[in-house]
Amino acid sequence: MSNRTNGQTAPVADVQLPHVNIDDLIVCLKYYVDEENAHIRIKDLAICAACDPKPCLAFCPAHVFETDRHGRMMVGYQACIECGSCRVACPFRNVDWRLPRGGHGVAYKYG
Amino acid sequence: MTGRLTFDAIVVGAGPAGVAAALTMARGGLNVIIIERGRFAGAKNLFGGVFYTHALADVLPDYWERKPPFERPVTEQGYWMLSPDSAIRVMHKSERYLKEPADAYTVLRARFDPWFAEQAAAAGALLITRTTVTQLLKDERGRVIGVDTDRPEGKVYAPVVIIAEGVNNLLTQQAGLIASDLPPKYVALAVKEYINLPAKDLQIRFGLSGPREGVAIDVFGDVTLGLPGTGFIYTDQSGISIGVGMLLDEFVTHRLRPYEVLERFKHHPVVRPYLEGGEVREYGAHLIPEMGYDRMPKLAGDGVMVAGDAAGMVDALHREGTNLAITAGKMAGETALAAHQAGDFSAAFLSRYRRNLEGTFVLQDMKQYRRMTDFLESSPQFMGTYVNLLNEAALRYFTAHGIPKRTMEHDILKMVRERRSFTGVAWDMLKLMRAMRG
Ligand SMILES: Cc1cc2nc3c(=O)[nH]c(=O)nc-3n(C[C@H](O)[C@H](O)[C@H](O)COP(=O)(O)OP(=O)(O)OC[C@H]3O[C@@H](n4cnc5c(N)ncnc54)[C@H](O)[C@@H]3O)c2cc1C
Ligand code: SF4
Ligand code: SF4
């Protein structure tokens, strides 16, 4: 457990996780989407193509990362809740991550 | 060109650390600006929800008269240790928690943070929202002299900048106070839902006599699939804050979706009845810095200080962070006041900020738990194995099987031995002790 290399994945034994439709969770959030400005970009799509475990498909709490029919990485930055996980957890540092412009992005009502 | 926009001090971020710093400096007579990227203070902030009042009372002695938007006082608190089908609950309830103001309240950040920021504004600090600080401005000798923002002509100058940007420490890195990003093994990812429930139902379910009582539960074991991490259930005024957090590395390694881990927790047979009929009103996620004392950034440089999550000031074991942030923000603010008096904004002068913090619970607690993150990483069995073991032991202990008690006790010991060798147990306990003693 301790000497992990980044990008290696291992299942947790005997655990069945319930399926969650993330869209149902995201709809209750308020966003002020910056249509002209994506604050998250993939630096190099070829790196994603070669990234075997693609952990971002799982750990991103808003499921912003998604592959299209051809396996190409797509980033739905509009749903991002700005946690910052992909910035530090992409094993190849392949995510260009910025803060959205002031006033844009998610706005919690409860937090 | 008109003259440049200059203040006595700039604070980046209107979370607890930034607001406490701004409030302290404004009270001390400085001309202060707080720059916040959210549409309002708190728009970007989410936490589990227990807020400790001691630090607030320190910066705002009359806070109670100012009617802070607290949810419920915490009058019962403790731990649930979940196995897949059972729970051991160790809860503490006391008459002594029933006083006003209480020592701890549950809080929703999108309600609390704007109130706190308003108190700083009332003291004279200028709060500018919807503005992201993009860069620190430095002079030719590398001293911080202001910030640039994403506003047109958005440069602002001051001899001292207090960075209170939270866990995503981009500016702290830019200031050269920390060398790099936090690796995913030193940062926890937490997801949370706010679930609406009529106060009456909530009170019946949690055994509360009215709105002046509230419960804070931290959960171990099956909640995180036995991996290092915790869950929480806190009662709000008419809702429940429920969430789970684990080191980001665990999500990566096990390819777990955080919202599915939370959903599983919500479906746990012991948890589900509490949520019945509740509506999810909000979902969100946030990181928690868990780099520990030894990996904290430098707290001061020339013309700059850093406070709160940006500086790694979190005590994960006791779910404390807002109080550390407030106390540190206050001390950074006091140091800025002293720097103005002395006319000295050098790193050498500002380093008294750290010295002062060494004398408080902030750095003393951080120091005491310096080995905690490494301990959990090196002892993954701690959560899962022991919590399951306790539950099974409890099941045997509380059930009459028609066997002599001595046999029952023997069975329990045997069970322990099968799961983990005695030397293993002893070693775990030793390491836990060391991690807790510092
Ligand atoms: C799930 C969870 C549960 C927690 N539970 C508890 C608990 O029960 N009790 C407790 O005391 N603590 C808890 N904490 C910890 C606590 O939330 C933090 O320690 C605390 O919020 C830190 O305060 P801060 O002011 O340093 O940072 P933050 O509260 O993160 O504030 C930072 C602010 O800076 C703004 N900002 C960032 N960058 C910029 C920029 N470039 N320009 C302009 N603005 C910027 C952000 O929008 C934000 O408003 C929890 C945390 C999490 C995530
Ligand atoms: S973003 Fe990072 S983790 Fe995700 S597929 Fe690309 S390289 Fe892999
Ligand atoms: S910041 Fe968080 S929510 Fe946004 S894309 Fe990255 S991991 Fe997903």
Q: Tokens 């790694």 appear where?
A: B312
The three-state secondary structure class of B75 is: coil
Q: Is the pLDDT of residue B113 over 70?
A: yes
Q: How far apart are CA B200 and CA B208, in angstroms?
A: 9
Ligand 1 binding pocket includes B108 (Cβ within 6 Å): no
Strand (E) or helix (H) holding A65? strand A65-67
My answer on whether B225 and B333 are in the same domain is no
Q: How far apart are CA B247 and CA B300, in angstroms?
A: 28
Q: How far is A29 from chain B (nearest CA, A)?
A: 6
pLDDT of residue A86: 98
Strands (E) located in B28-173 = 32-35, 50-52, 76-82, 87-93, 104-106, 126-128, 133-138, 144-149, 156-157, 161-163
In B153-182, the residues whose Cβ lies within 8 Å of chain A are 167-168, 170, 181-182
Chain A touched by B414 (CB under 8 Å)? no
| Chain B residue with the nearest C-alpha to that of A11 | B254
Domain for residue B138, yes or no?
A: yes
Domain for residue A56, yes or no?
A: yes
pLDDT of residue A5: 39
Domain for residue B229, yes or no?
A: yes
Residues of B with Cβ-Cβ distance to A5 under 8 angstroms: none
Total domains in chain A come to 1
pLDDT of residue B383: 64
Rounded to the nearest integer, the mean pLDDT of chain B is: 92
My answer on whether B244 and B268 are in the same domain is yes
Chain A touched by B39 (CB under 8 Å)? yes
Provide DSSP, B382-431.
HHHHHHHHHHHHHHHHHS--SS-HHHHHHHHHHHHHHHS-HHHHHHHHHH
My answer on whether B135 and B154 are in the same domain is yes
Nearest CA to ligand 1 atom 51: B47
Domain for residue B96, yes or no?
A: no
Q: Given 3-state DSSP classes, what are the helix, strand and coil percentages for chain B, each rounded to the nearest 5? A: 40, 25, 35
Q: How far apart are CA B330 and CA B336, in angstroms?
A: 10
Assign residue B326 the CATH number of its domain.
3.50.50.60
Q: Average the pLDDT over B295-313 and give the result.
A: 97
Picking from B368, B388, B413, the residue at the C-terminal end of a domain is B368
SS3 string, B93-119, reads ECHHHCCCCCCEEECCHHHHHHHHHHH
Chain A touched by B150 (CB under 8 Å)? yes
Domain for residue B382, yes or no?
A: yes
Q: Do A2 and B378 touch (CB under 8 A)?
A: yes
Rounded to the nearest integer, the mean pLDDT of chain A is: 90
Choosing from B19, B47, B59 the residue with most ligand 1 atoms within 8 A of its CB, the one to mutate for a pocket test is: B47
Tokens coding A10: 């291992």
Assign residue A83 the CATH number of its domain.
3.30.70.20
My answer on whether B417 and B380 are in the same domain is yes
| Chain A residue with the nearest C-alpha to that of B109 | A111
Residues of B with Cβ-Cβ distance to A87 under 8 angstroms: 168, 181
Tell me how long chain A is.
Answer: 111
Q: How far is B353 from chain A (nearest CA, A)?
A: 28
Cβ-nearest to A85 among B109, B287, B380: B287
| Chain A residue with the nearest C-alpha to that of B246 | A59
Q: B135 pairs with which residues across the strands?
A: B148
My answer on whether B297 and B247 are in the same domain is no
% of residues, chain B, pLDDT over 90: 79
pLDDT of residue B413: 81
Q: Is the pLDDT of residue A15 over 80?
A: no
Contacts 24+ apart (CB under 8 A), A41-47: A41/A75, A41/A77, A41/A95, A41/A96, A42/A73, A42/A75, A42/A94, A42/A95, A42/A96, A43/A93, A43/A94, A43/A95, A43/A96, A44/A94, A45/A72, A45/A73, A47/A92, A47/A94
Please tell me the distance between residue A38's alpha carbon and the centre of ligand 2 in angstroms.
17
Picking from B368, B397, B413, the residue at the C-terminal end of a domain is B368
Q: Do A28 and B167 touch (CB under 8 A)?
A: no
- In the DSSP assignment, the letter for residue A90 is -
> Each residue of A19-74: pLDDT tens digit?
999 999 999 999 999 999 999 999 999 999 999 999 999 999 999 999 999 999 99
Nearest ligand 3 atom to the CA of A95 is 6
Cβ-nearest to B183 among A12, A88, A107: A88
pLDDT category of residue B379 using cuts at 50, 70 and 90: low
Residue type, B384: G
Neighbours of A96 (CB within 10 A): 14
For residues B427 and B59, the model is more confident at B59
Phi, psi of B288 (to 5 degrees): -125, 125
The domain containing residue B134 runs over which residues?
5-71+107-181+292-368
The domain containing residue A36 runs over which residues?
18-107
Domain for residue A34, yes or no?
A: yes
Q: Average the pLDDT over B427-434 and give the result.
A: 72
Choosing from B309, B317, B327 the residue with most ligand 1 atoms within 8 A of its CB, the one to mutate for a pocket test is: B309
pLDDT of residue B411: 82
My answer on whether B158 and B204 are in the same domain is no
Q: How far is A87 from chain B (nearest CA, A)?
A: 9
Instruction: For Cα atoms A51, A57, A59, give the angle at the middle one, nearest 5 degrees.
Output: 110
My answer on whether B157 and B10 are in the same domain is yes
Q: Is the pLDDT of residue A7 over 90?
A: no
Prediction ipTM score: 0.92
My answer on whether B45 and B152 are in the same domain is yes
| Chain B residue with the nearest C-alpha to that of A55 | B252
Chain A touched by B263 (CB under 8 Å)? yes
Instruction: For Cα atoms B49, B285, B164, give the angle at the middle one, nearest 5 degrees.
Output: 70
Q: How far apart are the first and last CA of chain B?
A: 56
Please tell me the distance between residue A81's alpha carbon and the centre of ligand 3 in angstroms.
6
Assign residue B244 the CATH number of its domain.
3.30.9.90
Q: How far apart are CA A34 and CA A102, in angstroms?
A: 10
Total domains in chain B come to 3
Q: Do B257 and A82 touch (CB under 8 A)?
A: no
> Each residue of B153-189: pLDDT tens digit?
999 999 999 999 999 999 999 999 999 999 999 999 9
Chain A touched by B255 (CB under 8 Å)? yes
Neighbours of B138 (CB within 10 A): 18
Q: Tokens 């479906």 appear where?
A: B267
Q: Is the pLDDT of residue B278 over 90?
A: yes
My answer on whether B197 and B320 are in the same domain is no
Please tell me the distance between residue B318's alpha carbon and the centre of ligand 3 in angstroms.
26
Q: Is the pLDDT of residue B400 over 90?
A: no
